[in-house]
Amino acid sequence: MFTLSASLSGGKLVMGGLLVEDRVSVMTEGSGAGQIGFDGTIVSYEGLAFGTATGGVGGDFTITFDASVTSAAVDALIQRLSYANVSSTPTATRTLTLNVVDVNNADLSLFRFNELVGPSNPFDGIIFPSVTAPTFVDLNGDGRLDLVVGENFGTFRVWQNTVNGYTELTGADNPFNGFDVGDVSTPTFVDLDGDGRLDLVSGENFGTFRVWQNTVNGYTELTGADNPFNLIDSTSGYGRAPVFVDLDGDGRLDLVSGDYDGTFRVWQNTANGYVELTGVDNPLDGISVGSGGYSTPTFVDLDGDGQLELVAGDFYGNFQAWQNTSQVRITVTQDNQGGNEGPSVTSGATANFAENGT
């Protein structure tokens, strides 16, 4: 709900994405308490005019607010927007966008990302010759997130986040010094044993997941039956990139992994261990980053609705995003950012995902 009425004066509501056959307007109620009125041009709330409407016939529908606008009026207005189609053979799909922009140009749109370059980029000057897989974790308990990077040769490099910026930890100062998965390390951190310490899990080029338990004496690799992912079939894929997220809301973090073919595999965390979800049981079934392959997933709430969206990098350096909605469709966006990008980890509960079609 909108709460800052003062900033709405001079702002506007815009419904975009209309096709030629589309019509958008406002359904009038009256002038009573909580009611919206509309005469075709002037929009009122509880009998007091607060905006002027234009368009809506095959193009953007815009309502410009005047000084009488209130947050309650805008909330009520959104509930009274109407749509119609005048074609006898209407286009099957379209994407309509609703936005409210205040006088300060704040709006309802998804987060906007602006690249930081040169000295503005806190990682300026950090260069890898090939594949990189970054993630962030507070390694020393100082409240700052440090940078851990998997790389093409299978090792892990660490930059400590200090008051003066990021400083690489090398040799014995690197808590992962000597750790090596072979080729293409893809680290993530998760508390696997409930001791409050984040353990290291890494994919590698040949499809297995290596685990190092975080103990009071440092990180110790879990092998064989001690590795909770020991029985995961490594013959059916490679180039794994793990991330942990609660997909079913049971409080347990499930394992999602990108794969070389661009798809996403899911292992549900049950009381009896991790069980792979396949076919329609996999909420990410049918989703792929495409021909580039080597999907590197993470989850983050992009639109502030409390649900986590899926964001993935691919071999060609693109970022693709799948919006998590309660509907049966999903919106896909992508942006080419340059080679081998792999976002970091966020965990939480999500709903099901579906393919693009909106």
| pLDDT bucket at 334, cuts 50 / 70 / 90 | very low
Q: Are residues 278 and 154 in the same domain?
A: yes
Tokens of 103: 């006088």
Residue 319 β-bridge partners: 313, 335
Instruction: Write down the pLDDT at residue 185.
Output: 93
CATH code, domain with 140: 2.115.10.20
Question: Which range is most confident: 7-11, 103-107, 143-147, 318-322?
Answer: 143-147
- E strand or H helix that includes residue 98: strand 97-101
109 or 319, which is more confident?
319
Domain hosting 96: range is: 5-101
**What's the rounded Cα separation, in Å, for the pair 180 and 37?**
68
Task: Kindly state whether residue 106 falls inside one of the protein's structural domains.
Answer: no
Total tally of structural domains belonging to the chain: 2
Could you identify the residue written with the tokens 């080729």? 183
Whether residue 236 is predicted with pLDDT greater than 70 in this model: the reply is: no
Task: Kindly state whether residue 328 falls inside one of the protein's structural domains.
Answer: yes
Task: Give 139's contacts (C-beta < 8 A, 6+ positions apart).
Answer: 146, 148, 158, 160, 175
Whether residue 239 is predicted with pLDDT greater than 80 in this model: the reply is: no
Mean pLDDT over 347-357 rounds to 37
Instruction: Write down the pLDDT at residue 34.
Output: 94
Largest CA distance in the chain: 74
Q: Are residues 124 and 67 in the same domain?
A: no
Other C-beta atoms lying within 10 Å of the C-beta of residue 348: 15
Query: What is the rounded average pLDDT for all residues in the chain?
Result: 84
Instruction: Write down the pLDDT at residue 240.
Output: 84
Q: Are residues 131 and 235 in the same domain?
A: yes
State the DSSP string of 49-84: EEEEEEE-BSS-EEEEE-TT--HHHHHHHHHTEEEE
Mean pLDDT over 299-315 rounds to 82
Judging by DSSP bridges, how do beta strands 42-45 and 12-16 pair with one another? unpaired
Task: Kindly state whether residue 113 falls inside one of the protein's structural domains.
Answer: no
Q: Are residues 178 and 311 in the same domain?
A: yes
Task: Kindly state whether residue 161 falls inside one of the protein's structural domains.
Answer: yes
pLDDT tens-digit profile of 154-186?
999 999 999 999 999 999 999 999 999 999 999
**What's the rounded Cα separation, in Å, for the pair 337 and 317?**
6
Q: Are residues 153 and 258 in the same domain?
A: yes
Instruction: Write down the pLDDT at residue 132.
Output: 84
Mean pLDDT over 84-89 rounds to 93
43 or 116, which is more confident?
43
Q: Which amino acid is at 101?
A: V
**What's the rounded Cα separation, in Å, for the pair 77 and 1?**
12
With beta carbons less than 8 A apart as the criterion, state whether 204 and 210 touch: yes
| pLDDT bucket at 316, cuts 50 / 70 / 90 | confident
Out of 5-9, 188-192, 237-241, 247-251, least confident range = 5-9
With beta carbons less than 8 A apart as the criterion, state whether 200 and 209 touch: no
Residue 212 β-bridge partners: 200, 221
Task: Kindly state whether residue 354 falls inside one of the protein's structural domains.
Answer: no
Radius of gyration of the chain (CA): 25
Q: Are residues 96 and 123 in the same domain?
A: no
